[in-house]
Amino acid sequence: MVFSSLLFLFLFLPIFLGIYFIIPSRFRNFILFIASLLFYAWGEPIYVGIMIFSTLLDYSCGRLIDHFRNHPILPKIGLGLSLIGNLGFLCYFKYADFFIHNINAAFSTDFGLLKLALPIGISFYTFQTMSYTIDLYRGKVGVQKNIITFGAYVTMFPQLVAGPIVTYDNVEKELNSRIITLDRFGVGSIRFIEGLGKKVLLANNIGLLWDKINVLPVGELTVLDAWLGMIAFGLQLYFDFSGYSDMAIGLGHMLGFTFPENFNYPYISRSVTEFWRRWHMTLGGWFREYVYIPLGGNRVKKARFYSNIFVVWFLTGFWHGAGWNFIIWGVFFGVLMVIERGFLLKFFEKCPRFLSHIYLLVIILISWVFFSHDYLSEGLIYLKAMFGQVGNGLLNTATCYLMSNFYVLLILGVLFATPIMNKLKSKLPQWIMYLFYVGTLILSTAYLVDSTFNPFLYFRF
């Protein structure tokens, strides 16, 4: 996929930023809107129409909700049209073949699969646009009467395709008026370089270890191979996704926007509950605000409270992908969250920190098995290899060879996944940090020039 190349971003950004800062501020939303459509069209020009339709739909529904605010029915119709339209597109493109496949399997029918390409970022921008109409209906935000400004929000390219999920209330004021300073641009540039380094230098290279292990037949894997594979995949996924989020947040600062944080060193957590307060925080926040709390949250009887957790985690798993592996992945975390809320969190408060941390890491690595394999059957076989039920013993010479080639990257990955490096850089002289960022930018650019394929893992969701 051509869109997956970061080289286009490097070519695109200087031109866009030059125009963006030169023109009068009243035209910046227009430039942002057009540039975002062009950026999206680079990868999937066919589906730009869907994004434009989504913009028109939610803008129109928002005006309907606002204009007939005191009418007993029409605001509900406006909200309903927005939800049906957005979820309808999402279900059609992302889940249609999943439902057709399961209907065929259950009833021995032979309906043809649609085999539709998933529009990049549809899982993210549909949630964003729905947040606008829902919050407008609730009276939490004001109506946006300028369709260009609203279009800039819907299509905003820095976080368009893989988050963080930016709800309308996050940027409502900045859409209408934002301050751009040289200091803020500098902060954004540093954050962008950090994200770029995470993606290009860490995620891509650690991912090579997972690639080597993933292509091996399961019967040839040792136990250590299987666990190394999940460690590599887990680190790759973290640096890939948090790197994209850092780049998006950095670009937001450069353009005058403050996007919400999406990661807070999740691998240092002591429980699944804590992990999901630190990983993909904007997705968790969206489900909490628009699903969990409307269901009653924790202000209900215990049985209903636990069922609310299951609903949220079933939907979270299904949001990530149209497959039973993602559903099992979501239910897996739902069960663990219920167990932790029931008694395990109280136990962790009394036990040594390292024990709860080991528990968390083992659980997360097991969960990535379902996340990393397209089919549930493949994931289950791989899981057996992790526990020695299939495979080639504990370790062998091939395992030692892999470890000798990748141990430096794994150590760097573990260090950068903790706050240790962040604390260290605050104590170093500023000139050393400038050299570090310049070096990171040069190395990342050289890597991109040498490699034409740099996909973000979360593009598939």
Catalytically annotated residues: 320
Length of the chain: 461
Give per-residue burial for 271-310: e unless 16+ CB within 10 Å, then b.
bbbbbbebbbbbbbbbbebeebeeeeeeeeeeeebbbbbb
Are 132 and 83 contacting, i.e. CB atoms less than 8 angstroms apart? Answer: no
Nearest to 28 by CA among 190, 149, 187, 189: 149
Q: Which two tokens stand for residue 309?
A: 């957790």
d(CA 69, CA 137): 8
d(CA 397, CA 364): 27
d(CA 64, CA 78): 6
Are 204 and 454 contacting, i.e. CB atoms less than 8 angstroms apart? Answer: yes
E strands in 211-274? none
Give per-residue burial for 223-251: e unless 16+ CB within 10 Å, then b.
bbbbbbbbbbbbbbbbbbbbbbbbbbbbb
Burial-class residue 30 by CB neighbours within 10 Å (0-12, 13-18, 19+).
middle
d(CA 419, CA 269): 12
Q: CB neighbours (10 Å) of residue 181?
A: 10
When computed from its CA atoms, the radius of gyration of the chain, rounded to whole angstroms, is 23
Q: Which two tokens stand for residue 378?
A: 């493949």
